[in-house]
């Protein structure tokens, strides 16, 4: 679809620039450049990003020795290290890489959505995706969450394209999935919706032979690399541990972690905040972690419209089914009963069982729904159920796993945007005939919806961005220490913000937190026994008095202690 000029006498625009994908790419690139520039100016603002930077330093050879951090996902540190090897060592590298991969992901989402919607609809759905608070605030942050979802989107696209149009795309599914997993371990659960679409898309028992061969061939080709990586990169062993631990230990998993939260309804209770957060001005962390803020009026309005639209859509499907077939047959009644049992079992297991059991139940529910409605839903139903399973697979896992951070829910962002748009599109298509103006009816309403989302999020983000981040206070302090002790590289240093201090000093600094000890005497003894020459305290308030150590530098936020010899 090409957006046409409503005024024949208007300035002529090249046809390529009227293509929704081209316009989307320009908008996304412009926004991402601004977001990256803001992030680079204000500095890295998240603890884990420094971890990735420190691992990149080790990969590049800038820093030698064990980081004790290589159990994390290696892809982003590896890509960052390639630039470090060229001599450009800066935190802006990982931010720029984030930005590029984000743009790549948005283009992939457009192509994926275009398998279900027309071009202008796909364009609008992508604007909604970009505008989700978690996506907008983390798109160019240096974290691994948005890159992981970008690669996940392309994995899904290759599966859908391979099943529906050209099976050669299936060669790319496994390699892209591995890229996504190497970016973030939880992406491994993407196997569930991928398997679902492969089954329903190929009529698995009858026609899966050729597509399955392509996937197996791709798997065989990369298998040696997977085995090598498992042997050489501890991340894979850590991946298995992180998948198994919540299954074995349930609510006890993660006890003691700052993000420990056993409430299974945590994300559901804050779902409106993940659609649009308010107020317009506030604390920066309210947009990084929307649960700290409040849902905006837009979120309530959109949710009401989406629920109405999805309700109409489901009712229409059921109405068609009843018109085309007598569902009162024995087979129909049996399937409905089984579906009801599965739904009840799924709700029960959500509160009582490991997440994988609930995910499997939802997988079976989607298969049964497809079998019941395939004759009236067609290809659209396949895509709807794919995104539905995508959403619930990760939503259930993160809700049941008792370590909860808002940004973890980025894994469901494409599916959330999909259903927000689907619900709104039903309303638009139902009532657009009452709108005067052909352009407004054909594409104007959709563009208006996308711009409302984008404007709301942009204004809110601008009202929440801080002038600077904590690293801007850490760097002058570590520079002072480097000048104070020219032999600092040979000294043992501890800190309660070690990733940032390690990055700033380009040396491995050991993590220790005062609150983990019974008292300051016990903490001081640990430092002395560890032969720590310096302790850099960032977070304690008030700052402690440490036996055996003296304060050599103190600012409003940070204090440096040195061992008394």
CATH topology of domain 471-563: D-Maltodextrin-Binding Protein; domain 2 (3.40.190)
Residue 326 burial (C-beta neighbours within 10 Å; 0-12, 13-18, 19+): exposed
- Half-sphere exposure of residue 138, counting CA atoms within 13 Å on the CB side? 30
Give the CA distances from residue 229 to residues 3, 234, 325, in Å, rounded to whole numbers and listed in that order.
48, 8, 53
- Check residue 225 and give its pLDDT: 61
pLDDT digits (tens, 9 = 90+) for 226-279: 555 555 555 555 556 555 655 555 554 555 566 788 889 999 999 999 999 877
Mean pLDDT, the chain, whole residue set: 85
Is the pLDDT assigned to residue 539 strictly greater than 50?
yes
Residue 479 — pLDDT band, cuts 50, 70, 90?
very high
Is the pLDDT assigned to residue 529 strictly greater than 90?
yes
Is the pLDDT assigned to residue 320 strictly greater than 70?
yes
| Contact indicator for 542, 525 with CB cutoff of 8 Å | no
- Check residue 250 and give its pLDDT: 52
Q: Which residue has the tokens 């997977």?
A: 226
Which one has a higher pLDDT value, 394 or 471? 394
Is the pLDDT assigned to residue 492 strictly greater than 80?
yes
- Check residue 439 and give its pLDDT: 57
| Contact indicator for 66, 54 with CB cutoff of 8 Å | no
pLDDT digits (tens, 9 = 90+) for 324-353: 766 567 777 888 899 999 999 999 999 988
The C-alpha atoms of residue 359 and residue 455 are separated, in whole angstroms, by 36
Determine if the peptide bond prior to 542 is cis (ω within 30°): yes
* Residue (of 439, 451, 421, 417) closest to 27 by Cα position: 451
Give the CA distances from residue 552 to residues 70, 442, 477, 478, 534, in Å, rounded to whole numbers and listed in that order.
33, 69, 11, 12, 10
pLDDT digits (tens, 9 = 90+) for 161-176: 999 888 889 889 989 9
The C-alpha atoms of residue 390 and residue 190 are separated, in whole angstroms, by 7
Percent of all residues in the chain with a pLDDT value above 70, rounded to a whole number: 82
What one-character DSSP code corresponds to residue 516? Answer: G
What one-character DSSP code corresponds to residue 260? Answer: B
Write down how long the chain is: 565
554 phi, psi to nearest 5 deg: -145, 130
The C-alpha atoms of residue 131 and residue 133 are separated, in whole angstroms, by 6
| Contact indicator for 393, 341 with CB cutoff of 8 Å | no
Q: Which two tokens stand for residue 164?
A: 């529906």
Query: Which residues fall within 8 angstroms of residue 440, CB to CB, at 6 or more apart?
Result: none
> What is the average per-residue pLDDT within 37-53?
88
How large is the angle between the packed helices 355-400 and 413-431, nearest 10 degrees? 90
Handedness of CA 213, 214, 220, 221 (dihedral sign): positive
535 phi, psi to nearest 5 deg: -130, 125
The C-alpha atoms of residue 46 and residue 470 are separated, in whole angstroms, by 9
Which one has a higher pLDDT value, 40 or 241? 40
- Check residue 157 and give its pLDDT: 97
* Residue (of 1, 188, 26, 14) closest to 107 by Cα position: 26
The C-alpha atoms of residue 57 and residue 67 are separated, in whole angstroms, by 9
Give the CA distances from residue 304 to residues 78, 265, 301, 308, 310, in Å, rounded to whole numbers and listed in that order.
44, 20, 5, 6, 10
Q: Dihedral (C-alpha) 212, 214, 215, 217: value to the nearest 10 degrees?
A: 120
Q: For the chain, what are the domain ranges?
A: 15-462, 471-563
């Amino acid at each position: 679809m090409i957006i046409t000029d409503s005024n024949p006498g208007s300035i002529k625009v090249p046809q390529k620039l009227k293509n929704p994908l081209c316009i989307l790419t320009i908008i996304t690139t412009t926004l991402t450049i601004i977001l990256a520039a803001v992030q680079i100016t204000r500095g890295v603002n998240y603890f884990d990003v420094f971890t990735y930077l420190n691992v990149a330093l080790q990969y590049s050879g800038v820093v030698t020795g064990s980081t004790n951090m290589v159990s994390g996902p290696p892809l982003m540190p590896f890509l960052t290290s390639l630039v470090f090897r060229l001599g450009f060592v800066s935190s802006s590298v990982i931010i720029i890489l984030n930005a590029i991969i984000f743009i790549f992901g948005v283009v992939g989402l457009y192509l994926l959505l275009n398998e279900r919607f027309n071009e202008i609809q796909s364009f609008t759905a992508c604007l909604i995706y970009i505008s989700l608070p978690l996506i907008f605030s983390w798109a160019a942050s240096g974290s691994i969450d948005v890159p992981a979802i970008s690669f996940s989107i392309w994995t899904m696209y290759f599966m859908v394209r391979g099943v529906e149009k050209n099976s050669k795309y299936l060669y790319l599914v496994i390699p892209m999935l591995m890229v996504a997993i190497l970016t973030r371990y939880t992406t491994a659960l993407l196997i569930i919706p991928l398997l679902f679409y492969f089954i329903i898309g190929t009529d698995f028992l009858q026609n899966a032979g050729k597509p399955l061969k392509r996937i197996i061939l791709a798997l065989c080709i990369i298998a040696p690399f997977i085995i090598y990586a498992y042997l050489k990169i501890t991340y894979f062993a850590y991946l298995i541990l992180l998948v198994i631990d919540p299954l074995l230990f349930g609510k006890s998993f993660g006890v003691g972690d700052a993000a420990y939260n056993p409430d299974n309804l945590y994300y559901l209770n804050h779902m409106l905040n993940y659609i649009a957060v308010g107020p317009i001005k506030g604390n920066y962390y309210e947009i990084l972690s929307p649960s700290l803020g409040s849902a905006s009026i837009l979120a309530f309005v959109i949710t009401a419209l989406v629920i109405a639209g999805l309700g109409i859509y489901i009712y229409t499907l059921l109405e068609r089914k009843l018109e085309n077939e007598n569902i009162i047959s024995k087979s129909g009644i049996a399937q409905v009963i089984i579906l009801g049992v599965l739904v009840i079992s799924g709700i029960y297991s959500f509160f009582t069982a490991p997440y994988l059991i609930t995910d499997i139940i939802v997988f079976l529910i989607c298969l049964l729904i497809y079998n019941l409605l395939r004759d009236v839903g067609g290809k659209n139903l396949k895509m709807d159920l794919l995104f539905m399973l995508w959403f619930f697979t990760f939503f259930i896992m993160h809700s049941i796993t008792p370590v909860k951070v808002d940004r973890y829910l980025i894994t469901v962002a494409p599916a959330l945007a999909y259903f927000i748009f689907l619900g709104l599109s039903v309303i638009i298509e139902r009532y657009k005939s009452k709108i005067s103006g052909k352009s407004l009816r054909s594409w104007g309403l959709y563009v208006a919806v996308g711009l409302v989302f984008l404007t709301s999020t942009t204004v809110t983000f601008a009202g929440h961005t801080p002038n600077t981040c904590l690293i801007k206070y850490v760097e002058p302090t570590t520079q002072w220490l480097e000048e104070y002790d020219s032999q600092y590289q040979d000294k043992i240093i501890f800190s309660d913000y070690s990733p940032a201090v390690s990055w700033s000093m380009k040396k491995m600094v050991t993590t220790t937190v005062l609150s983990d000890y019974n008292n300051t005497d016990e903490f001081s003894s640990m430092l002395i026994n560890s032969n720590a020459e310096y302790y850099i305290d960032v977070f304690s308030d008030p700052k402690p008095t440490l036996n055996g150590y003296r304060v050599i530098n103190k600012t409003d936020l940070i204090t440096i202690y040195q061992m008394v010899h």
